[in-house]
Amino acid sequence: MKNNFIITGMPRSGTKFLAHTMDRSNTFTVLHDYDLKKIPEIGKDEDGFYDYMNERLDKNNYGEISGWFRSSLNRFEVSKKGVILRHPIKNIISLYNMNGSAYSKMYVDGIERNMEKLDALAENPDIKVIKFQDITSDIDYLKDVLEYFGVTDVEITKSIINKKVNSRGNYFTYENFDKNIIKDLEKRCEWFIEKYDLIAK
């Protein structure tokens, strides 16, 4: 089997950061949210879409990372797979900061469904669990993640760890976000946060 992979997670969970870091490699090509116009085909001609995707993924030293694949990771034919986990409430706040309340409300309403999808992936022993809180703070952890997926020629530095790839003003933080939403989410997300020891980072 070729040395290829696919990684998923929630939007705003570090997918772009990880893809850009991996794509610093001189031997690997790693793409983030590539060719999104194909995504709607998941809900139409599923078999045709996955045939297209698996043909696209059929390359050596190649990877794709996208939040869009969290419902369908098992359909991709690659040598390695991964899922990024981020503290769900921090994930929601980041979505609000990036996209506004109208778009982000659907993630608040559907948080249980998304946690269940991520939990099912993380429970699979063939899928690498990657923690956002660690790839954005721990040089050795990030290096180990890259090496697991075969990317061994990227030097991980503090500047990479500290780089924000989606830089926008942080209008909301855990402290100043709507307290009613926070309280509701804390109850709904408690099991997931505790199970995976997620930090509000």
| CB of 70 closer than 8 Å to CB of 104 | no
Confidence of residue 39 (pLDDT cuts 50, 70, 90): low
- CA 148, CA 85: separation in Å to the nearest integer? 17
Confidence of residue 107 (pLDDT cuts 50, 70, 90): confident
- CA 136, CA 156: separation in Å to the nearest integer? 11
What residue segments make up the domains of the chain, in order of their start? Answer: 4-195
Q: Which residue has the tokens 């939040």?
A: 67
Residue 47 or residue 55, greater confidence: 55
Question: Given 3.40.50.1370, 3.40.47.10, 3.40.50.300, 4.10.910.10, which CATH number is that of 4-195?
Answer: 3.40.50.300
Q: Per residue in 83-95, pLDDT tens?
A: 999 999 999 998 8
Q: Please tell me the pTM assigned to this model.
A: 0.91
Q: How many CB atoms lie within 10 A of CB 79?
A: 15
